[in-house]
Amino acid sequence: MWAYGFADPAQENGPGTSVEAPGPAEAPAAPSPPENPPHRTQGAEDILSALRALGTPAVPKAGGRIFTLPIIGQIEGHIALPPQNKTTKYEHLIPQLVAAEESPDVDGVLIILNTVGGDVEAGLAIAEMIASLTKPTVALVLGGGHSIGVPIAVAARYSFIAETATMTIHPIRLNGLVIGVPQTFEYIDKMQERIIRFVVKHSRIDEGTLRSLMFKTGELTRDVGTNVVGEDAVRYGLIDALGGLGDALGKLKALIAEAREGAAWMPEAEAGRRSPPSSRPGVPARARSAGPDRAPGDGPPAGPYVQ
């Protein structure tokens, strides 16, 4: 008769053979860690961020105590612009200007301009903020400083324009629905006067020349105004001098040195809160360069854009 059961291990191995009971299985040895384990560092994160934003892994660190304020593209004000537009939002610039004015680590502000213009009131707000800073400011127009970019450029204590850069001077205009009544024209005219007064106050151009450039016909296609190229902007008195980045930084450092000398006589607690000598009553608000062929107070320069 066949029987189903378990075989005796002693019988299988023969008589006198002992069989050990199986013990617990040993756990596999953990792999040894590599000598240089990979890990993410702050430096790696900075490189990746630079690659995404600028397309280069090496971004030089800004030295010194100069704050750079770029104003690029179209100035966005109270109405949001389309997402494909390159914009500079004025609500982003104003807190930066306040921080630069209050920071003890900032000695001067460099404004880089390449703008097509934009919202008039937002642009004037930025210009007024720049003009009211007590710290030295220098503006550099690269490519273009058009429309409302003109008041922003002249708001700095000293301004440069690249030789190939341009500035378009034209009357303001309104977007959207416009009510065809005399009050609308009066509103536009008053806003235009605000821009003219600001530019004349903060530059060497006289009001007659500015109006002539602003309302000239035949210069721009389907528009009224004038396109002023680098050297002409200096001759008219809108901009102080031709130059580039090196010139702007050199002038700003010179203004910072002058401000430090002017603050040397003040108590240390008041040195950072008092206005520079150039902004006090009885002292010219701006020490502008008139150039070798023209002295301050001379009439408007003769040029192809003057009617």
Catalytic residue among 39, 49, 92, 147: 147
Indicate if 147 belongs to the active site.
yes
CB 252 within 8 A of CB 110: yes
Rounded to the nearest 10 degrees, the angle between the axes of helix 182-201 and helix 207-214 is 130
Catalytic residue check, 202: no
Burial 240-250 (b: 16+ CB within 10 A, else e): bbbbeeebbbe
Helix axes 120-131, 182-201, angle to 10 degrees: 30
Distance CA 188, CA 193 (A): 9
Question: What does the block give as tokens for 260?
Answer: 């430090």
Question: DSSP state, 37?
Answer: -
Contacting residues for 19 by C-beta, under 8 A, at least 6 apart:
9, 10, 13
Q: Which residue in the list 18, 132, 159, 170 is annotated as catalytic?
A: 170
Of the candidates 73, 71, 70, 69, which has an alpha carbon nearest to the alpha carbon of residue 86?
73
State which amino acid sits at residue 71. Answer: I
Burial class of residue 175, CB neighbours in 10 A (0-12, 13-18, 19+): exposed
Residues annotated catalytic, as ranges: 147, 170
